[in-house]
A = this chain, B = another copy of it.
Amino acid sequence: MGWRAADRTKQTLKAQNDDAPEYLLEDQVGHLLRRAHQRHTAIFQANIADQQLTPLQFAALMKLADVGEASQNHLGRLTAMDAATMQGVIKRLIARGLIARRPDPDDRRRLLLTLTEDGRILVDVATARGHRISDETLEPLSPSERQTFLKLLLRLTD
């Protein structure tokens, strides 16, 4: 169709002459957040003692150590994980014997999660690593910049 070719010409000219609506990927928050998160997980992998432990598994363990006992969904909310995602994370942690699951006597829908002895040991070892990972992630910033950044980042988190 003739109009198609005409349109394409116009489009090409517009793209060449007018760069007002331009979109630079490297300036977009989403892309920067994704890259910063990528860098953080790489730092995590390099510094966490246990090579099998992932950031989400680590978060679940630490939070469980914090609250002592919680149902899957509750722990998921505390760690910002989807129920379906939590399903897989918990399954792998149970398979490794780091957490245990027992039915809630007061609510037969719920499964209560607790750390096992091995889980508690791992948490003790990994806590220092966690702080080191956070430090190394923020290493490009000065102390005051870190504080500013974390304050602003928190406000972009619902």
Residues of A within 8 A of B (CB): 4, 8, 11, 21-25, 27-41, 44, 55, 59, 62-63, 65-66, 78-80, 117, 120, 124, 127-128, 130-131, 133-134, 137-138, 140-141, 145, 148-150, 152-158
Contacts and interface: CB of A to CB of B under 8 A. Distances in A.
25 contacts: A8-B117, A11-B120, A22-B127, A23-B65, A23-B66, A23-B127, A23-B130, A25-B66, A25-B78, A27-B150, A29-B40, A30-B37, A30-B40, A31-B80, A32-B154, A34-B37, A34-B55, A34-B80, A35-B80, A36-B153, A37-B37, A40-B156, A141-B156, A145-B152, A148-B152
Contacts of A141: 152, 155-156
Contact of A152 (B62, B134, B149): B149
